[in-house]
Every structure is written in C-alpha cells, then in structure tokens.
Structure 1
Amino acid sequence: MNQGTKNFTKTISPIIISVFAIYLCIGITLGTIPSFIKNELHYSSWIVGAVIGIQFLATLLTRAYAGKIADTKGAKTGNHYGILMAMLTGLIYLASVFFKDNQLLALLILFLARIMHGVSESLAITGALTWGIGLVGHQQSGKVMTWNGIAMYAGIALGAPLAMYLHSVSGLGYVFALILLLSAASWLFTMELPNLPVDLAHQRTPFYKVIGKIADQGLALAFSSIGFACISSFIALFFKERNWVNPSLPFLTFGGFYILTRVLFSSFPDKFGGYKVAIVSFLIEIAGQLLIGFSNSEAMAIVGCSLTGIGFSLVFPALGVLAIQKVSPQMRGTALGAYAAFFDVSLGLAGPIAGVIAGLYGYQSVYFFGALSALLSIVVLSIRNKK
C-alpha cells in the first residue's frame, strides 16, 4: 500500500465506519417494518410501500437544507445533526412497538419515525460525503463516493438479516433499541475528525439552479434506483409468499455483489468514462430485474438480486463525479444534496407505486416495473448525451 493510499485510508476510515453504522440502522428497519405492518398491524401492501417510501420522501425534502448546513456550518456539524436525530428516531420506533395493540396509533407513530429517519439520513450522508471529499481532496471524490456506497449497502445488506434474526429470538423492541446503540457508535467514530472550513462570503447558487446543472445525471440515477426500491420493499414478502426458506438471502446477495463490484471495478468510471459504465450497468440491472420477475425458483430470484446489485453498483459514483464537477467547491455539499435528491424522488415514489402494482398483479410484477425503469435510464442518458 503506497503512502497516498495509507493517508486516504487513515483519513476516511472513521467516516466510512460511521456511515456503515448509519445504514445498518436503515437495513434493520427494512428487514422488520414490512412484516411488522403486514403480520402484526394487519395493513396492506400499499401501506407497506407508503411507510417505506415516506422516509425517502423526507430525505428528498431536506436535501437542500442538508447541503446548506454542510456548506455553511461545516460537514461535521451536518453529519452530527443527522446522527442525533437518528437516536431520537430509535426511540420513536420503540414507541410504535409499545402501542402495537392500537394498530392505527402504532402505524401513525411508524410514519413519524420514518419521516424523522429520512431527515436524519439526509443530514448524515450529505455531511459524510462532503466531509470526506473535503478532507482528502476533490481529485479523490470518486473514491470517497465508492467507499461511502460500500458502507451504505453493506449496512443495508447486513442490517436486514440481522434484524430478522434478532426479531425471531428476542423481539422487535430489542431490534429497534439497537438503532440507538449504532447511532451512538456512529457519533463516537468521528468525534476526533476536524470540521471543514466554510466560506460564508461565497455567493451561493440557488438550489433549483444546481438541480438544473446536474439534471441529466440525476434523472438517470433516479430511474435506475427503482429496481433497488423494489427489492428493499417487497423481496422479503415475495419470498414468504412463495414459501422460500431464505427471505434474508436477497438482501445479502444484492449487497454482497454490490460491494464486490465496487471493490473490484471502482476505477472503471475514470478508465472508461461515466457514460459507458452507466449504460452497461443499466443493462445488467435490467437482466437482474427480469430474472426476478420471471423467477420460478428461489435460486433464479437470488441470481436476479445479485445481477441487480452488480448493475446498480457503479451508477452513483460514475454519474456523481460528473455532477460535482459542474459546481464550485463551496457548493459541493449542495450539489451532492441535489444529485442525491433524484435518488430520493425515485425511492419515495417507487415504494407506493410498486405497492399498488403488487396489490393488483402480485409481487413478481414489481420487478417488471423495475426493469422498465432501468430501460428508461438508458433512454434518458442517451438522449441527454447526444445534446
């Protein structure tokens, strides 16, 4: 390992570990909330999609605020605001379990918790990305995004099956209590890192103009993210409907192949160009979604989840590096917030829409929706690339 790599690893590791803890919390909720709503509160698939999706909507609506906090008060400040809110979210999740006998009240508390969780994610991850890029330099922004993505999806991939196991052996209250502990650990890992200096004299570009600058990358990201939303919201329910024995395995294979692809091919966007890498990624994702949609066995569905993980892996860094090059360093947090907002729009809308589709045509049908969405990513990116 050369000196530059050692310095990068030493600087960025605390942030990456912190992000991993944050997304373990998100994975925990994805692994437990759908079954809690369906099996204990006895609400429909559409309600499952709405509860899952409202977190991403809350994240979307606070991206501009999170970017502004990172740019004007420092990325560390924004990140730690988010972590504190995650701790509060854990308490609200616990309240939903306490009031589960009052089904409507428990559901309303869950909605509140998901909204709070969305705001906390917005602040924490926008702060973490801006913080990491600021500490190591914009020339390594792709690497920062790559490793943050690894931490995010490793957390989701491990958090979901961990939560399912803990739920089966100790109860849902202990699962949600773990969110408090993980959030505290996330805070502790980054306490000693310095905040970034801020330039309050810099004339800020309005958020809507920043969105316009990065819209081509953002739209392609948004459509490609729907396949991930379909897996995170409904794959466990699909497996249970088919009586397949490993409902946690899709999360592990999606996350595992997502991470492996990033580790092995993180240099591809720089080497071959973001456009080419994105197009190939979309094609692989389409194949994965179609395999799940047509699956008649557990193994076929697992392969589909694996291909979706491979295809989705390099989309964010490939397009994200291009996005932040369109703004000044003082607006980097805002640009990252705007770019990630497209991801949030996708996940916020995909959950309820997929829930309606699942209710009308069954769980397999949502993966044809995911495949069509990835195809639209190719269309959008190709049209914008020609202009």
Structure 2
Amino acid sequence: MAFPLMRAAPPARLLLLTAILLISYLCVALSLPVIPVFVTGSLGLSNALAGLAVGIAFLSTILTRAYAGGLSDERGPKVAVARGLFFYVAGALASMAAGLLPEAPWSAFTILVGGRLLLGLGESLVAVGVIAWGVGIVGPAAAGKVLSLVGAAIYGALAIGGPLGLVLFARLGFAGTMAVSAVLPAVGLLAIWRLPSVAAHPGRERPSFTSVISRIWLHGSVVCLQGIGFAAIGAFFALHFRDQHWSHAGLGLTAFGVGFVLMRLLFGHLPDRIGDLPVAIGSLAMETVGQLLIWGAGEPAFALAGAFLTGLGGSMIFPALGREVVHRVPPHLRGTALGGFSAFQDLAYGLTGPFAGLLADRAGYDSVFLTGGMAAAAGFLIAIFLRRRGAAAAAA
C-alpha cells in the first residue's frame, strides 16, 4: 500500500511542506535575537561584530544562491531542501560549540562565524528548494500562493522564535539555545523523507546566472531596500530596547511576524486582484512609516507598533514581485531565477547587520531604524518608476 503522503492532494502536500519549513526555520529564528546579546554581552565584543555575526549568514546565502538554484533544477528541489536542512544542523552545532567558550571570546567568535556561514548555506538551499518544490506541486499559475505560504512560514517562525530564543537564552544559555535549534531541522529532515518530490530538469541548456539576474535586477533592488527594515529589527531591536531600559525586548520580532503573517493571510490575494506594483507601492509606504515610528518612539508601545507596521508593509513585496520572476522564465530555470531574485533580499540582510552595527556604535540604535525608513522610501520611488514605465510601455 502506498504511503499516505504519496496519495495526498497537491494542496495538502503544499501545506505539509509549509509546516516542515516553519518548524525547520525556527533554527534560524531562535538565533537572531540572541546572537547580538551573546556577542556584546557574553563575549564583550562590539556592536559592529554583533552585526557581522548576524549578517554574515545572509552573505553566505547570497554567494550560494546560484549553486542552490542549479542544484534544485538539476537534481530536484527535494535534494536541495534535504542538503540545506543538514547544513542547518551543522551550523547550529558549530554555534553551540562557540557558546561553550565564553572565556576565549575571539576563538568563540571565529567558531560562531563558521557556524553562521553553514547556516547561510543551508538557508539558500532550503528557501530555493521549498519554493521550487511548492511551485512544482501546484503549478506556476499558483506561484503567488506558494510564495505567500513560504513567507508566512518563515516569518511565523520568526514571530515564535524571537521571544522563545530569548527565553531559552535566559534559561539554558547560548550553547543550550543552539542545541535546541539543531534539533528542529533534524525533525524536518525526517519529515521530508517520504514526501514525494517533483521532476528535475537535468541536461537542459542554461544561460549564465548573470544573464538571469539582468532580467530581474530592478525588481530585485526593491526587495533589497525593503529587506533593510526587517534586518534592522532582527539584529538591533532587542539591543535598542535594552539600551532604553525597556522590557519585552523579544517582542519586536513577534510584532513584526504577526503583522507579516496577518497581511499574508488576509490580503494574499491582492496582487491577483489589483496588480503586483500597486501592492508593492502601498506596502513600501507602510514599511517606511513603521521604521520611522521605531526611530522616533519615546516608549516601547510605539516601537512595537512600528515593528508591527514594518511587518504589514514588508509582507507582500516579495510574493508580488516574485510572481513575475516565475512567469518570466521556463520551468528548467525556475530555481535559478528564484535564487537570483532571493539574493537581492539576502543582500539587504547580509549588509545591514555589520553596517548598521557601525552606525549604532556612532549614532545610537535609533539611527538604524531611520536608515531603514529611508531605504523603504527609496524602494517606494523605484516601484513608482516601474509602474509608470510599465504603463508607458503598455500604451505605446
């Protein structure tokens, strides 16, 4: 008799895959708020190094997107996801080892950076693989739904993982928190073992990765600018609260994640109904307001409201613009194109940490969120330009 998953309808398999992603991504989410606290507190190093420890995982993701997309296209997305989950486990275990060396801060930091690089490689493989797998299950016509569900799983994990990570850190220490985070992707590996994959496309002619990027770079730049706000919250919201002597520092990612998931669940249909760029323009305006609210907040409630608005605003930009990416390439290039498009968001996540850390050392944590607001405003202007250019081309 066939295993039940083999007989499950495509929507049920997509939901199962989304649930596996949510559980596994907690490995990433648990670490985001505790790494800056560990680096600046336990190791006694600077904010810039704390930002580097957070951001270098995303830089690793950028550098491996082409590899992840090619692997997903050539050998199938299930292989990419399984390999990525393995690197999640390896990265978490390396970070756990760093937590055992608080008396040797530079050795601990070096090991931590190595673990973060492994985690970034895992993130590249898992994200590209899950999206390609989901699109393969339900078809490219439902690509927007796949992207929305994937984003909801990722940011739902962030909403849970932010406060949970700080609770575990307080009770188990950094090493114990990283040990817990290593278990979660291992559960994901077991869960996908019998989940059927979709067809790979080996041996097909492929243009260079840079030629694929050239088709999507302007839309990708909007995603990059949008991602700075989330990266600022992930790396420095908890430290900003501690600096202001405010309680509930772990709720920043929760507020962001709740706004993000709420928007996906209630308004995920908007790109289909009113168009991709109108959704992106409205979302970027909302994110700009959210970041500026955190920057000017005089009390924690306003800062949390700003994080919530940032989540609402940032929610629909990636799926709205990502739908166009899926439809612009043939199936055998889908993983490569999605990897390239995702790399723009990774760029924001990777660079924001270290550069915002330098800014925080010199101008305070609130300046980080002013920068996030300015970046979202720049993305808003580019999105308006893209809409006007598209309207002009349609009228010609």
TM-score (norm 2): 0.94
Q: 8 Å contact 1:221–1:343 — kept in the other structure?
A: yes
Which stretch of the first structure deviates more once superposed, 70-79 or 354-363? 354-363
Output the CA distance in 1 between the equivalents of 2:84 and 2:203.
25
Quote the residue 1:71 is aligned against.
Answer: 73
Alpha-carbon distance in 2 for matches of 1:354, 1:26: 20
Match of 2:365 among 352, 355, 363: 363
Q: Output the CA distance in 2 between the equivalents of 1:201 and 1:250.
A: 46
Deviation per residue, 1:224-271 (Å, 9 max, x gap): 110111100000000011111100111111101110110000000110
Match of 2:291 among 272, 289, 292: 289
Query: Which residue of 249, 252, 259 maps to 1:250?
Result: 252
| Structure 1 position 54 matched with structure 2 position 38 | no
Question: Which segment is superposed worse, 17-26 or 303-312?
Answer: 17-26
Q: What is the deviation of 1:8?
A: 4.3
Where does residue 189 of structure 2 map in the other structure? 187
For the residues of structure 2 that align with 1:344 and 1:378, how far apart are their CA atoms?
19
Task: Specify which of 126, 134, 137 is matched with residue 135 of structure 1.
Answer: 137
Q: Partners of 2:387 and 2:62 in 1: how far apart?
A: 26
Query: What's the offset of the Cα at 1:200?
Result: 2.1
The 5 Å alignment of 1:1-387 reads 7-387=9-389
C-alpha displacement of 1:385: 3.5
Give 1:173 deviation, angstroms.
2.1
Q: Is the 8 A contact 2:76 2:201 kept in 1?
A: no
Instruction: For 1:90 and 1:220, locate their aligned partners in 2 and report how far apart those are by CA, in whole Å.
Output: 31
Bigger mean CA offset, 14-23 vs 266-275: 14-23
Tell me the distance in 2 between the aligned counterparts of 1:156 and 1:218: 23
Q: How many angstroms apart in 1 are the aligned matches of 2:223 and 2:37? A: 29
| Distance apart, 1:198 and its partner CA | 2.1
Letter in 1 for 2:296: F
In structure 2, C-alpha distance between the alignment counterparts of 1:244 and 1:68, rounded to whole Å: 46
1:31-69 deviations in Å (ceiling 9; x for gaps): 211100011100111111111110000000000000000
Larger CA deviation: 283-292 vs 349-358 = 349-358
Residue by residue, what CA displacement relative to the aligned partner does 1:335-359 show, whole Å, maximum 9, x if unpaired?
Answer: 1000000001111111111111111
Task: Find the aligned partners of 2:222 and 2:10 in 1 and give their Cα distance.
Answer: 30
Partner of 1:3: none
1: CA distance, partners of 2:12 / 2:351: 38
| Cα RMSD for the two superposed structures | 1.2
Q: Any gaps of 5 or more consecutive residues in structure 1? A: 1-5
Q: Distance in 2 between matches of 1:184 and 1:84?
A: 7
8 Å contact from structure 2 (residues 25, 185) kept in 1: no
Over 4 Å off, 4+ runs: none
Q: Is the 8 A contact 1:217 1:323 kept in 2?
A: no
Conserved? CA contact 1:145–1:317, under 8 Å: yes
For the Cα contact (< 8 Å) 2:74–2:203, is it kept in 1? no
Q: Give the letter for the 1:328 counterpart.
A: P
Letter in 2 for 1:26: V
Of stretches 16-25 and 63-72 in structure 1, the one that deviates more from structure 2 is: 16-25
Amino acid at match of 1:224: Q
Superposed CA deviations along residues 130-174 of structure 1, whole A, max 9, x for unmatched, are: 011101111111101101101001111211211111121222222
* CA displacement at 1:99 relative to structure 2: 1.7
User: What is the one-letter code of the residue matched to 2:142?
Assistant: Q
The range that moved more, 137-146 or 62-71, is 137-146
How many residues matched? 382
Cα deviation, 1:82-126, whole Å, max 9, x if unaligned, reads 011111112101110122211110000111011110001101111
Amino acid at match of 1:162: L
Judge conservation of contact 1:45–1:355 (CA < 8 Å) in 2.
yes
- Contact 1:146 1:266 survives alignment (8 Å): yes
Partners of 2:11 and 2:138 within 8 A in 1:
no
Q: For residues 342 and 228 of structure 1, what CA distance do their matches in structure 2 show?
A: 14
Distance 1:79 1:337 in 2: 13
Would you say the 8 A contact 1:126–1:337 is kept in 2? yes
Find the residue that maps to 2:377 and give its secondary structure.
helix
**Contact 1:20/1:154 (8 A) holds in 2:** yes
Measured in 2, the distance between the counterparts of 1:248 and 1:40 equals 18
Aligned amino acid, residue 336 of structure 2: T
Q: Return the alpha-carbon distance in structure 1 between the equivalents of residues 53 and 92 of structure 2.
A: 16
Conserved 8 A contact 2:75-2:201: no
Moved more, 221-230 or 192-201: 192-201
Residue 207 of structure 2 aligns to a residue whose secondary structure is coil
Indicate if the aligned counterparts of 1:14 and 1:189 stay in contact, CA closer than 8 A: no
